[in-house]
């Protein structure tokens, strides 16, 4: 039987200035471990620490530009585009543009602070 997920849970984000993360599916809101789905809204100038996660992360940009720094360079992902970062890759996300970014992140398996492996 289908299960309604009536609302997300706001979770704490890494990086500055603070961004908003509303988790719809994942370890916090639905206790799912196979997948997480979150709505992200990051302001202009937001930048988080680098990470080498154990999970694959798909990000679909709805508005603005999400910057993905990786070992091979930098990739700017604009509205209407998506990016896949495979588990084990070192990346750092940011939103340097004046508009910031709004995007949906899907992680397989679900995001976990224990498996994101952020830089110190």
Distance CA 29, CA 43 (A): 24
pLDDT for the residue 72? 96
Q: Residue 100: inside a domain, yes or no?
A: yes
Q: Model-level pTM? A: 0.95
Residue 4 domain-assigned (yes or no): no
Domain that holds residue 50: 21-116
Does residue 3 sit within a domain? no
How many domains are there within the chain? Answer: 1
Burial state string for 25-64 with b = 16 or more CB within 10 A and e = fewer than 16 = bbbbbbebeeebbbebbbbeebbbeebebebebebbbeeb
* CATH number of the domain residue 77 falls in: 2.60.120.10
Residue 11 lies in a domain: no
Instruction: Flag whether 13 is in a domain.
Output: no
Per-residue pLDDT tens for 52-101?
999 999 999 999 999 999 999 999 999 999 999 999 999 999 999 999 99
Query: Does residue 106 contact residue 85 with C-beta atoms inside 8 Å?
Result: no
On whether residue 36 sits in a domain, the answer given is yes
């Amino acid at each position: 039987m289908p299960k309604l997920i009536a609302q997300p849970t706001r979770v704490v984000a890494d990086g500055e200035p603070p961004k908003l993360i509303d988790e719809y599916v994942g370890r916090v809101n639905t206790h799912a471990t196979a997948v997480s789905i979150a709505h992200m809204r990051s302001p202009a100038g937001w930048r988080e620490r680098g990470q080498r996660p154990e999970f694959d992360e798909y990000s679909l940009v709805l508005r603005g530009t999400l910057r993905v720094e990786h070992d091979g360079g930098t990739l700017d992902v604009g509205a209407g585009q998506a990016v896949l970062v495979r588990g084990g890759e070192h990346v750092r996300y940011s939103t340097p543009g004046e508009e910031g970014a709004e995007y949906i992140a899907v992680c397989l398996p679900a995001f976990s602070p224990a498996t994101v492996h952020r830089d110190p």
